């Protein structure tokens, strides 16, 4: 705390500070002498006595000549089992108003990735209990998956359901990282997780939309430090959910702009690729534990050629693309199966049965997509008998791959369903084999296992018989 300097200049959220004795290291935390709650992080050297630092808090009240203290360390956050059930900000301060952690274990948010020699090379599927994901875009344990979509297509709802399923069915730990979240969303998510009874296995960390770009830029690193402790010390499999990785890129763009760097393509920072890699490469699995990350990726104006989307794609093992068209048709989760992909859906990893069923579903839906124009213009009567069967199969599959969620029960009134991979594959296989030609399409909508369709049909038939008898 003795390394004292003074502010030479202030440019909005960026300052230049002079330290005549000891120059602080890059990423060191600086605090104001008169206001300890104003925090900066060193980002560059200007000359042999001057550093450039970015504010991680609001800077109201500072001026040139003010004394500033080099703390001698980087930003630190609490780690360990004590953080579960609590909500934090980027500085590791609790936001939930609960009892403070006594004697917390603190770790720097800046850590090096696990070297390749210590990583696990096994390919293992991470099951979620959500039919369309487990069957068509299986997630890789210890790797990264992206939920791509524009505003309002269901990214945050899907993430909330994943937290619920991992905690309730698998007794796993989850770390939720909100980058640039609205304060309303953060509060609602905390309440939903608490009501679902899975808060004690979850830690939440937020840098909200109204906070300075420096805080939003560093909260992802803070969340990773928490997850790495569970993987490396507690030797657990942990799920890291990030909502939204685009806001991280956006915060980096703002930091780059206010520090005076020249923008690159479409106005993004020239360091976009290296900044994203610095975050993403820390997510990996070892022989004793893993971090599986599921990241919501906002796609600006639904343009998948935007640099933020293309750079994120390169880090992912699975891409789950959410479609506004499917959401408008009432298919939830609104996954566009033909645009989504996963490297786990291979013969060696998924197994022959899973691989063949998924391929048949994809071929059926692709053919249905081609036939849609004819259907719209001429109607189903003009199709050949074989094409008609394809249409009926595809429409039933589309509805079977919808699912009621636990976290939306109070909105929809439908009880949530957790579906095992075996049950999901069995249902899809039986639909592909035309075992349900007598069934209505509505029998398959928003159900869990295929047995639910049978129960739905029985209830519908009873209702129809009672209607007929009353007439």
pLDDT tens readout for residues 187-242: 888 888 888 778 888 999 999 999 999 999 999 999 999 999 999 999 988 999 99
Of 395 and 410, which is predicted with more confidence? 395
Residue 385, Cβ density class (10 Å: 0-12 exposed, 13-18 middle, ≥19 buried): exposed
Closest-CA residue to 306 (of 268, 344, 274, 335): 268
pLDDT tens per residue across span 330-376: 999 999 999 999 999 999 999 999 999 999 999 999 999 999 988 88
From 161, 181, 192, 211, active-site residue: 181
Beta pairing class for 39-45 and 50-55: antiparallel
Distance from C-alpha of 467 to C-alpha of 375, rounded to nearest angstrom: 33
User: Distance of CA 1 to CAs 15, 48, 61, 73, 268, Å?
Assistant: 19, 21, 22, 10, 37
Assign 1 a pLDDT band (cuts: 50, 70, 90). low
- pTM of the entire predicted model: 0.87
Q: Which of 64, 118, 182, 372 is catalytic?
A: 182
Q: Which long-range contacts (CB under 8 A, 24 or more apart) does 219-222 make?
A: 219/89, 219/90, 219/177, 219/178, 219/179, 220/177, 220/179, 220/245, 220/248, 220/279, 221/109, 221/110, 221/279, 222/75, 222/77, 222/88, 222/90, 222/92, 222/109, 222/177
Question: Does pLDDT of 170 surpass 80?
Answer: no
| Mean pLDDT across 72-89 | 95
75, 194, 197, 203, 227 from 84: Cα distances, Å? 20, 12, 13, 5, 11
pLDDT for 257-316, tens place per residue?
Answer: 988 888 888 889 999 999 999 999 999 999 888 999 999 888 888 888 899 989 998 999
438 labelled catalytic: no
Sequence-distant (6+) residues with CB within 8 A of 444 are: 396, 399, 400, 431, 436, 453
Q: How far is CA 390 from CA 340, 386, 431, 450, in A?
A: 21, 6, 11, 19
245 falls in which pLDDT band (50, 70, 90)? very high
**What is the model's pLDDT at position 378?**
86
The answer to whether 175 and 203 have CB atoms below 8 angstroms apart is: yes
d(CA 94, CA 155): 26
**The pLDDT value given to residue 30:** 96
pLDDT for res 471? 62
pLDDT at 185: 82
Q: Tell me, yes or no, if 182 is annotated catalytic.
A: yes
Residue with tokens 């630092």: 53
The angle that helices 272-280 and 213-232 make with each other, rounded to 10 degrees, is 30
| Alpha carbon distance 339, 410 (integer Å) | 31
pLDDT at residue number 327: 92
Cα→Cα distances 404→325, 329, 425, Å: 19, 15, 18
181 is catalytic: yes
Average pLDDT over residues 109-113: 94
C-alpha span between 164 and 294 (Å, rounded): 14
Task: State the Cα–Cα distance between residues 324 and 154, nearest whole angstrom.
Answer: 9
The pLDDT, as a whole number, for residue 108 is 96
Tens-place pLDDT, residues 325-334: 999 999 999 9
Distance set, CA 279 to CA 27, 110, 203, 250 (Å): 15, 10, 19, 14
Percent residues over pLDDT 90 in the chain = 69
Identified catalytic residue from 155, 282, 396, 456: 155
Encode burial over 92-130: b for 16+ CB neighbours within 10 A, e otherwise.
Answer: beebeeeeeeeeeeebebbeebbeeeeebeebbbbbbbb
- Average model confidence (pLDDT) across the chain: 91
pLDDT tens per residue, range 375-403: 888 888 888 999 999 999 999 999 999 99
* pLDDT band for position 248 (cuts 50, 70, 90): very high
How confident is the model at residue 87, as a pLDDT?
A: 94
- Express each pLDDT in 12-39 by its tens digit: 899 999 999 899 999 999 999 988 899 9
Average pLDDT of the segment spanning 441-456 = 94
Residue 110: is its pLDDT beyond 70?
yes
Q: Is the dihedral of CA 341, 344, 346, 352 positive or negative?
A: negative
Q: How many residues does the chain have?
A: 471
Task: Assess whether pLDDT exceeds 90 at residue 104.
Answer: yes
């Amino acid at each position: 705390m003795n390394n004292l300097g003074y502010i030479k200049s202030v440019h909005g959220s960026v300052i230049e500070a002079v330290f005549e004795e000891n120059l602080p290291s890059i990423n060191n935390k600086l605090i104001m002498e008169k206001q300890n709650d104003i925090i900066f992080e060193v980002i560059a050297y200007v000359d042999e006595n001057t550093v450039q630092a970015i504010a991680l808090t609001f800077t109201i009240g500072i001026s040139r000549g003010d004394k500033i203290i080099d703390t001698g360390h980087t930003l630190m956050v609490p780690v360990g089992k004590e953080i579960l059930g609590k909500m934090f900000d980027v500085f590791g301060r609790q936001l939930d108003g609960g009892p403070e952690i006594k004697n917390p274990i603190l770790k720097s948010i800046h850590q090096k990735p696990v070297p390749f020699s210590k990583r696990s090379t096994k390919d293992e599927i991470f099951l979620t209990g959500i039919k369309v994901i487990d069957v068509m875009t299986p997630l890789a344990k210890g790797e990264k998956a992206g939920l791509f979509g524009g505003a309002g297509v269901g990214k945050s709802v899907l993430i909330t359901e994943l937290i619920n399923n991992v905690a309730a069915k698998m007794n796993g730990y989850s770390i939720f990282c909100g980058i640039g979240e609205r304060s309303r969303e953060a509060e609602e998510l905390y309440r939903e997780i608490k009501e679902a009874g899975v808060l004690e296995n979850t830690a939440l960390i937020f840098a909200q939309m109204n906070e300075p770009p420096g805080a939003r830029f560093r909260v992802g690193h803070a969340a990773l430090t928490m997850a790495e402790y569970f993987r490396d010390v507690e030797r657990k499999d942990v799920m890291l959910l990030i909502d939204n990785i685009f806001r991280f890129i956006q915060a980096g763009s703002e930091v780059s702009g206010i520090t005076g760097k020249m923008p690159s393509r479409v106005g993004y920072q020239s360091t976009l690729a290296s900044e994203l890699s610095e975050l993403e490469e820390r997510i990996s699995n070892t022989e004793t534990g893993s971090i599986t990350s599921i990241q919501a990726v906002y796609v600006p104006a639904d343009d998948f050629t935007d640099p933020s989307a293309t750079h994120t794609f390169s880090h992912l093992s699975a891409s789950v693309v959410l479609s506004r068209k499917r959401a408008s048709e009432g298919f939830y989760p609104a996954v566009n199966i033909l645009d989504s992909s996963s490297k786990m859906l291979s013969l060696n990893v998924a197994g022959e049965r899973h691989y063949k069923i998924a391929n048949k579903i994809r071929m059926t839906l692709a053919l249905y997509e081609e036939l849609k124009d004819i259907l719209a213009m001429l109607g189903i009567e003009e199709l050949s008998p074989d094409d008609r069967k394809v249409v009926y199969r595809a429409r039933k599959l589309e509805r079977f791959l919808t699912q009621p969620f636990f976290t939306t029960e109070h909105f929809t009134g439908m009880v949530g369903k957790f579906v095992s991979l075996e049950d999901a594959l069995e249902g899809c296989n039986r639909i592909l084999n035309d075992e349900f030609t007598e069934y209505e399409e509505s029998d398959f909508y928003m159900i869990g296992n295929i047995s639910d369709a049978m129960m739905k049909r029985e209830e519908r038939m009873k209702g129809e018989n009672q209607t007929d008898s009353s007439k």
